[in-house]
Amino acid sequence: MVYLRHTVLEPLGVKVEWLQFKQGPQLMEGMNVGRVDLGSVGNTPPIYAQAAGADIVYVVGRVASNGRGTGFLTPPDSSIKNFKDIKGQKVVFQKGSATHYFVLLALEEGGLKYSDIEAVSIPNVDAASAFFQGKIPVWVGYDPFLAIAEKQNKVRNLRDAQGLDLPGGYYIGARKFSEENPELLKIVIEEIQKISKWGDENPKEVAKLLVPETKLDLDIQEKVIRRSSFQLSPIVR
């Protein structure tokens, strides 16, 4: 947990606590038990959270990435040479995450059914470790682990997310917090948008700022930044 002194929120008596979660489903669980007021997730976790009874609201959308930072991945020497070869294979991803939706769209586009694969749910960070150890035949993974594997020539990407018209993610708020603090939310979102615009326009500088936290090589961090987007988008109802 990291506490941030924020020049905009500090005069309002607001202290920001940053929490990290493995993926969206885990963050949604944290919000459901009152640990999180506002969080950024992919397109699918809030749907599962609402289905399970979570009292949340959609605050603002996030622009989708270009799709190159995710994919159906195999080791480079795998006998699985193309996307249709995944039929009958164990395919690892985090169920209920944005990756889950990507899997469904990619299978449909490729003429396969969900029942054609053996879906195994493992969080991305844990799946990455198993993949690098050669324990996973097909992993639906994403950056920064994909970028690391590409640099080491340890991956074949059978199908990335380009062309699938995937939606971006969302900033999700706990309903009670959001309804009681509309002006605070407005300030936070405005600040995020300012920072996000600067981030998209200055990928090299963002990469340099993030490296001390992520511990990634600078070239990998910059590659990840250039394949993503920080900017916000309106939610169309």
Instruction: Return the CATH superfamily for domain 70-160.
Output: Periplasmic binding protein-like II (3.40.190.10)
Model pLDDT for residues 180-206, shown as the tens digit of each residue: 999 999 999 999 999 889 999 999 999
Query: For the domain bounded by 2-64+167-233, which CATH number is listed?
Result: 3.40.190.10
Q: Can you give the residue ranges of every domain in the chain?
A: 2-64+167-233, 70-160
Residue that the structure tokens 């795998």 belong to: 78
**What DSSP string describes 69-108?**
TEEEEE-TT-S--SGGGGTTSEEEE-TTSHHHHHHHHHHH
Examine domains 2-64+167-233 and 70-160 and report if their fold is the same: yes
Supply the angle between the helices 203-214 and 218-226 in degrees, to the nearest 10.
120
Cα(200)–Cα(220) distance, rounded to whole angstroms?
Answer: 16
Model pLDDT for residues 112-127, shown as the tens digit of each residue: 999 999 999 999 889 9
Tell me the pLDDT of the chain (237 aa) as tens digits: 233 345 678 788 888 888 989 889 999 999 999 999 999 998 889 999 999 999 999 999 998 889 999 999 999 999 999 999 999 999 999 998 889 999 999 999 999 999 999 999 999 889 999 999 999 999 999 999 999 999 999 999 999 999 998 888 999 999 999 999 999 999 999 999 998 899 999 999 999 999 999 999 999 999 999 999 888 887 765
pTM score of the predicted model: 0.84
